[in-house]
Structures are given as structure tokens and as C-alpha cells.
Amino acid sequence: MKKLTALALMGALASGPALADLVFPDLSYRTGPYAAGGIPFSDGYQDYFALVNARDGGIGGAQARVIECETGYNTEKGVECYEATKGEGALVYQPLSTGITYQLIPKVTADGIPLHTMGYGRTSAANGKVFSHVFNYPANYWDAASVAIRYLLSENGDSLDGKKIVLLYHNSAYGKEPIRTLEELSKKYGFDLTTIAVDHPGQEQKSQWLQIRRERPDYVVMWGWGVMNQVAVQEAANIRFPMENFIGNWWAGAEHDVTPAGEAANGYKALNMNKVGDLPVFADIKTHVHDAGMAAGDGSNLGSVLYTRGMYAAMLAVEAAKTAQELHGTADITAAQMRDGMEALEMTAAKMEALGMAGIGPEFSVSCENHGGSGMGIVQQWDASAKVWVPLTDFIAPEDDVTGPLVIEDSEAFAAENNIAARCE
Amino acid sequence: MFYREAGDFKTSYVADNQTFPIAFDRYRYYAVLAVAFLVVPFIVNDYWANAVLLPFLIWAIAAIGLNILTGYCGQVSLGTGGFMAVGAYACYKFMTAFPDLNIAFCVLLGGAVTALVGVLFGLPSLRIKGFYLAVATLAAQFFLVWLFNRVPWFYNYSASGQISAPERTVFGVPVTGPNTSAWATYLFCLVFLVVLAWLARNLTRGTVGRTWMSIRDMDIAAEIIGVNPLRAKLTAFAASSFFVGIAGALFFSVYLGAVEVGEAFGINKSFLVLFMIIIGGLGSIFGSLAGAAFMVLLPVLLKNVLVGGFGWDTALAAHLELVIVGALIIGFLIAEPHGLARLWELAKEKLRLWPFPH
């Protein structure tokens, strides 16, 4: 009997103050035509949580647990992954796929779990009055379209009148998102917009580039992802399209998109929502995670564009979790509390510097109405000889007076379709 | 010993012609139905419904549809994905244009529209056969996907080209939209599958089915004995497309809730359904169900075993999954070219003699 009591006591002690893990599912894709982008993003996402666990002892004392689930960028597998992980106490979902995002928006809202689609997903989710559980800070597609046009304006002495711009887009929800904003902007600035679609997965683009060659546009803007980017850069080189007039969005501007074309890709430009470069946090990840043998994947992506973005996404999730812990005075937060934390998130330069990521993103704060952040982005250019992305500009702000009304219009249509009452009043 | 005809006396032609002439089979069938209707709805959770049961039920409907065309009527089709898209988009248009129309009717109307489209694309089958027909239906696949991507009217001019299902209820219980419960969506799809499978079974053993099979076996001979090939082929296309359209409508409205045509109804979906009926067994309703189960459930099972059970790397598991499913398909087809349905038949033959095989 004594032994039993002792055992029971020991068991109770060993379990200690029962702090449950904070669960962050990672709906990754390491297979299929989009794996080239999915792998570094997922590595960065997981490594940052591993770093927080190893270096800081978790988030506010609670360990972060990442559950990885392979989606292959496929919506059905995405649903399966969501259902398989939501019961584990998932705090936030980041599917890195616009298609899966569309699927999850109604589901997460019904289940009360926040969804963070950083720079992708449904643009009008920036309107927090309608989308209570969806966040797309720091920026979205319409911001990206506006930033790209503003950059072109600044290059052309603030006038794009009569210029010809081609949008080369992935023929999916993802690629179609910017069209509406670009149409508005073309009306406003008098440029001529042609949209050319590339079908999934994007390996076959000969006819599209033939059309581009015929139309002789001044600029080509690309909304591409996965294997489509590499092919597009190669095709642009084949028709000798001037690379400095070819601008990808922030999902078409990673190392693996340009390296296959070699020297020919020199001068290709792309947007970015986070700065790349040698951040102090990488040294920490190297010592605490990679050298400890806990690297996600093969550990070769440290510091690449999408690795940095994945890490940035994880950092924003961790900061939101910390905010939630402060708000609710508990380390063991729930998904509902996480949502409150995301809505109260404030990113300042000092905060980013303290985390060893000075200037990785713009300063922004999230509010009940605004789930979209500041929407700022930079333009970077590929230097093929040094094999680095060189930032050309500082963070450029989008034209909120153009995107704002579009966001309101689209989100209100969604609200009317689904009988959602406006919040924040 | 238990599985035998002996002692099971039939006293009418109806009894003699029933689908399950052996008593044991009959009771098993009723038991399966009873479990599916009376037990599963009470224990099903979100994961089981959304990851396992709904895809199985919906793909089973699609597989029965294609099996009518390919298995019973002998017309190869690679347009299944495109026809599913027709069902989905028709259902979406009916759902949004007539918000008060019950979802069950939207799904049925989606099937009806698909039947019309199927007949249209079935017309070339009167002139061309075999591989050539496969290519013609392949054209349907690409044309339909292109159409739904291209014409904004089909997706109600939404910015992203996605269609998403608003909430609709049956008897006050939501079956589409975000606030559904697992049992409701499951039962909704199950009712469709059971009714359609019953319909298919009875179609295929009646006059219509016999004309289809005569066309499949030898169209010239069929024509000589008085079968009208125009009618037979077009009814097969219509019935098949109706089933496939309903599967597409359910796939969009109940299962996924939001789809993007290129991804959800691409060419790989056409191949998936074709694999289902080849592995399950051509010309067999049971084969359609078995094939759908094999192609839908096996990847999920493998994933859960490899990642959940062994804790392997997700990418490795995803690649291995392809290897294992591929190897199993080849293995099955070498062992039994007529599919799982034939294996099931053989097992039943053996059971009849057991334990005294001669």
C-alpha cells in the first residue's frame, strides 16, 4: 500500500504543473510541383519553433509543438490535414496555399481557430469586421499589385500612361486575385493591362511567351508559384525579354526560381514582404537547432528567401501567442485566446530587433477592423554572379485608397452571401 | 457450410431474380445497411466524415457512373473530371440563383444538367470507338475545365474564380457550409449513394442494361438483333453523366465547400475514377464501391500508419505512399485482371464449397 501511494505521489510529481503544449500545425508540402517553395518555408517555420523551445524554454514557459502534415498543395489533402490536427488543440493554421485557405475560411470560423495567411489567401480577409478568424497581415495580394505598380511609377517619373503591362498568372484562385486591383490601377494610371494565364502546374509556357513576344509589353508582372516561376524566368531569357522589366510577386522571388536559368536570370526583379540578409537570429538557429541535430528537413535552406519568410511567419505566430498570454494571464492559451492575441498584435522595430530580426518586416499593428497589417513590400533584384537578392527599395506602401474600397466591396459581398453580421462596433 | 443455396427455396420469379439470391448474402447486405444508417451516424466524428467517409461515398457514386459507361456499355471516357465539374458548377448556380431551393434538388438538377452535357459529348461515340473515343472525351475534359475557368458567369464573377457553397439545410439541418455536423453530411451522401447504387443495379439488369452490354460485347451483332446503338450509347452517356454530375455536386457542396476547377476537377480526377473501376472491376456495382474504397482509403490509411504510427518524415511517407499504392495496383492487376469484384466472386465461390471442396 505504501509503495502504491509513493508511486502515485511520484507520478503526480513527475507530471508536475501540467502545462500542455502549444500546438502549431504545419500544413506543409514537400512533394509535388510546388515543393520547391514549400520545403524552405516549412523548414523555417519549424526551425523557429524549435529555436524558441531550445533557447527560451518555449513560449512564456509553454513548449511549442509543431505537427507537420503533408498537403502536396492539394485541397483535399489539406482538408484531411486540418481535420486530423484540429483536435490536438491547434492554435493557428498557416496552410501556405490559397486554395486550401478558401476551403478553411468557413471551417476555422465555425471551429473558432484562427487562420493566418501571410501574403496569400483571400485578400478581402483583411477586413476584420467580416472575417473574425482570418488574418492576412503583414500584406496581401492587392497590396502586392499596388506596390508593384507604385514601383513602376517611380521608375517612370510617376506616369505609366500608354505603357503596356502584362500580368502572367497561375490560373487558379491565387493567380486571379490581383487582376481586380490591376484593372483599377490601369484605369487610374492609363496603362494597358493584358492578362495571360498559365495552367497548373506551369511547366508549359511556350505559347504564353510567344504572345508576350508579339505584344512587346513594357513590363511583365508575374503571379507564379512552384515550378511555374523557373520556367517563366527561363522562357523570358529565351525570348530575350529584358529581365529588369520582369517583376515577380513575393511568391516568385526565391533563389530556386532563378538559379536554374543561370546567368540569364540576372536582373530579374521580385517583390518581397520581408527583408532577406544576414540576420542575427540565423546564428541562434545554427547553434540551438541545426548543431543540436533538430533541423527540419535537411537543414540546407537556412537564410534563403522562403526560409526567412517561414521563420517570419513562425515569429509572428509566437509573438501573437505571447500577446495572447499577456492578455489572458495564462501560458496555456486556447485557440480563442490566440485569436485575441493575433488581433492585438503589434510589431515594432524594437521588438524585431530584440528578436534578432531587425527590419525583417514593416512595423504594423493589427486591430479588430484591420486584419491586414500595413501591406508594405520591397522590390529586390537578383544578382546572378553573386547569387543573392539585392534589395532595391525600402518598404513601399500600397495605395490604400485603391485597395481599401475593393476589400470592403468583396468582403461585404461575402458577408451578404453568408449572413455574417459586422463586428467591431 | 453457412454460405449456400441449399435450403433457400424460391417460390416466385421475383424471388429467383433478386440481387442477392443467397440468404446469407441478403442478411449481410441488410446488416451493412443497418450499420451504415443506424450505427455509423452516432459514432462518426469530423475526421472520419471529412477525411474518410465523405470522399469514399462521393467517389463511389462517380465510380458507379463511369462503370455504367465503361464497364457496362464499353465506351471509354476520360472526361469524368470535366463532367464532375459540370455537376458542381450547375449545383452552385442553382444554389445561388434559387436560395430557397432544397439542396437535394440542387444536387439532382446538377446531375440532370450533367446528363445533358454528357449526351452532347457522347454524340461522337456513334462514329468513333476505343482509343479515339477516349481522346474525344479527353477533349471534353479540357474544354469543360477551360470553360469554367474562362467564363466568369459560372463562378458569379468572384475575384478569385473560386466557387463556395453557401449554407443549405435539409429538414432544418445544415448539410453544406461551415456549420455542418459530421453525421448530417455523412447521411446526406449515404442516402444519395444507396439510392443511386440501387438504381444502377436495377438499370443494369433490366432491358436498358442488357442493351448496353450487348453494345459492349459486339456492337454490330447487337445492331443486327435490333438494338438501337444511338439509343443505347446515348442513354449510357446520360445515365453515367447523371451519376458523375451528382458526385461532382456533392464533392463541391458537401465535401469541399469551395473549389477551383483546375485543381478539383483536373485530368487526374478522370484518371482516378478510371483506376477505381479498373481496380474494382469493370461492369460491377460492388467493384465500383471496392475500387473507390481502395483508391480513397488506402492513401489515408498509409499516411496514418507511416506518419502517425511510425513517426516517419511526412515527405518520405508521401513518396512511399505513391510507391506502395502503385505497387499494389500492379500486384492486384497481375493477380486478378478483372479487379476486386472478381476476387470477391471467387471468394464466394470457394465459400459455397467450404469446408468440402472437391
CB contact under 8 A, A74 and B263: yes
Contacts of A35-38 with C-beta under 8 Å, sequence gap 24+, read A35/A226, A35/B315, A36/A226, A36/A227, A36/A230, A36/A254, A36/A256, A36/A257, A37/A96, A37/A225, A37/A226, A37/A251, A37/A254, A37/A256, A37/A306, A38/A73, A38/A96
Alpha helices by DSSP H, A158-299: 173-176, 179-189, 206-215, 227-238, 255-258, 280-285
Closest residue to B256, CB basis, from A103, A105, A417:
A103
Interface contact B174, partner A, CB < 8 A:
no
- How far does the CA of residue B95 sit from the closest CA of chain A (Å)? 11
Check residue A373 and give left, alpha or beta (phi > 0: left; psi -120 to 50: alpha).
Answer: left
CB nearest to B315's CB, from A70, A103, A173: A70
Structural domain includes residue B304: no
Q: Flag whether B293 is in a domain.
A: no
Strands B173-174 vs B169-170: parallel, antiparallel or unpaired: antiparallel
Total structural domains in chain B?
A: 1
**B257 within domain boundaries:** yes
Residue pair A375/A398 in contact by the 8 Å Cβ criterion: yes
Nearest to B314 among A30, A177, A417 (CB): A30
Report yes or no: B144 at the A interface, CB cutoff 8 Å: no
The mean of the pLDDT values for chain B is: 92
Q: Does B349 touch chain A (CB under 8 A)?
A: no
> So what's the pLDDT on residue A130?
93
Quickly state the pLDDT bin for B329 (edges 50, 70, 90). confident
Residue of B nearest to A68 (CA): B314
The verdict on B184 touching A (C-beta cutoff 8 Å) is: no
- Please check whether the two domains, A21-140+276-375+405-417 and A141-274+378-402, share a CATH topology: yes
Higher pLDDT, residue B7 or A409: A409
Determine whether the interchain pair B160/A176 forms a contact, defined as Cβ–Cβ distance below 8 Å. Answer: yes
Across the interface, whether the CB atoms of A76 and B166 are under 8 A apart is answered: no
Please report the residues numbered 196 through 235 in chain A whose beta carbons come closer than 8 angstroms to any beta carbon of chain B: 197, 199-200
Interface of B with A in 87-126 (CB under 8 A): 96
Nearest CA in chain A to B300: A80
C-alpha cell at A297: 528537413
SS (H, E, C) B291-354: HHHHHHHHHHHHHHHHHHHCCCCHHHHHHHHHHHHHHHHHHHHHHCCCHHHHHHHHHHHHHHHC
CATH: 3.40.190.10, 3.40.250.10, 3.40.50.2300, 3.20.20.330. Which one for A141-274+378-402? 3.40.50.2300
Residues sharing a CB contact under 8 Å with residue B81, sequence separation 6 or more, in sequence order: B141, B145, B265, B266, B267, B268, B269, B270, B273
Name the residue in chain A with its Cα closest to that of B161.
A173
Chain A positions touching B300 (Cβ under 8 A) are: 80
Query: Per the CB < 8 Å rule, is A31 touching B257?
Result: no
Model pLDDT, residue B358: 67
What is the reported pLDDT for A19? 54
Count how many pairs of residues, chain A against chain B, have C-beta atoms within 8 Å. Answer: 100
With both helix axes pointing from N to C terminus, report the angle between B80-97 and B54-66 in degrees, rounded to the nearest 10.
Answer: 120
Domain that holds residue B196: 44-265
State residue B356's pLDDT score: 79
Q: Which of A26, A34, A45, A75 to mutate to test the interface with B (most CBs of B within 10 A)?
A: A75
| B177: in domain | yes
- pLDDT value at residue B125: 87
Cβ <8 Å between A31 and B318: yes
Rounded to whole angstroms, the Cα distance separating B331 from A195 reads: 47
Beta carbons of A417 and B160 less than 8 Å apart:
no
Q: Which of B50, B161, B303 sits opposite A176 (nearest CB)?
A: B161
* B327 close contact with A: CB closer than 8 A: no
Out of B50, B51, B260, whose CB is closest to A173? B260
- Residue B18, min C-alpha distance to chain A (Å): 38
Q: Is B263 on the interface with A (CB under 8 A)?
A: yes
In our burial notation (b when 16+ CB lie closer than 10 A, e otherwise), range A184-215 reads bbbeebebebebbbbbbbbeebeebbeebeee
Nearest to B317 among A70, A86, A99 (CB): A70
Q: Please indicate whether, in this complex, the C-beta atoms of A418 and B162 are within 8 angstroms of each other.
A: no
- Residue B25 at interface with chain A, using a CB cutoff of 8 Å: no
A170 to chain B nearest CA, in Å?
11
Q: Do the chains contact at B257 and A199, CB–CB below 8 Å?
A: no
Nearest-by-Cβ selection for A99 from B50, B178, B263? B263
Interface test with B, best of A41, A102, A132, A177 (most B CBs within 10 A): A102
* Nearest chain B Cα distance for residue A216, angstroms: 24
pLDDT 10s digits, B70-106: 999 999 999 999 999 999 999 999 999 999 999 999 9
Cβ of B55 within 8 Å of Cβ of A76? The answer is: yes
| CATH class, range A21-140+276-375+405-417 | alpha beta
Residues 60-119 of A with CB under 8 A from B: 68-70, 72, 74-76, 79-80, 83-84, 86-87, 98-99, 102-103, 105-107, 109-110
**pLDDT of B142:** 94
- Please measure the distance between the N-terminal and C-terminal CA atoms of chain B and give it in whole angstroms: 14
- C-alpha to C-alpha distance for B165 and B177, rounded to whole angstroms: 6
Query: Which residues from chain A sit within 8 angstroms of residue B149, using beta carbons?
Result: 171, 197
- With beta carbons less than 8 A apart as the criterion, state whether B274 and B80 touch: yes
- At residue A8, the pLDDT reads 44
Residue ranges per domain, chain A?
A: 21-140+276-375+405-417, 141-274+378-402
Mean pLDDT value of segment B111-132? 92
Give the pLDDT confidence score for residue B121 in this predicted structure.
Answer: 93
State the smallest CA–CA distance between residue A350 and chain B in angstroms: 37
Query: Would an 8 Å CB–CB cutoff place B81 in contact with chain A?
Result: no
Total number of residues shown for chain B: 358
Asked, for residue B316, whether it belongs to a domain, the answer is: no
pLDDT per residue, tens digit, chain A (425 aa), is 444 444 444 444 344 444 568 999 999 999 988 999 999 999 999 999 999 999 999 999 999 999 999 999 999 999 899 999 998 899 999 999 988 998 899 899 999 999 999 989 888 899 999 999 999 999 999 999 999 999 999 999 999 999 999 999 999 888 988 998 999 999 999 999 999 999 888 889 999 999 999 999 999 999 999 999 999 999 999 999 999 999 999 999 999 999 999 999 999 999 999 888 889 999 999 999 999 999 988 889 998 999 999 999 999 999 999 999 999 999 999 999 999 999 999 999 999 999 999 989 999 999 999 999 889 999 999 999 999 999 999 999 999 888 899 999 888 888 887 788 888 87
Classify residue B69: in a domain, yes or no.
yes
* Chain B contact set for A84 (CB, 8 A): 47, 51
C-alpha–C-alpha distance, residues B260 and A173, integer Å: 7
| Residue A417 sits at the chain B interface (C-beta within 8 Å) | yes
Does residue B345 lie in a domain region? no
DSSP string, B141-186: HHHHHHHHHH-GGGGTT-TTS-EEPPP-EETTEE-SSTT--HHHHH
CB A133 within 8 A of CB A113: yes
Task: Check A106 against B257: CB less than 8 A apart.
Answer: yes
Position B26 in a domain: no
- Give the closest of A110, A171, A417 to B179, CB-based: A110
What is the model's pLDDT at position B217? 95
pTM comes to: 0.91
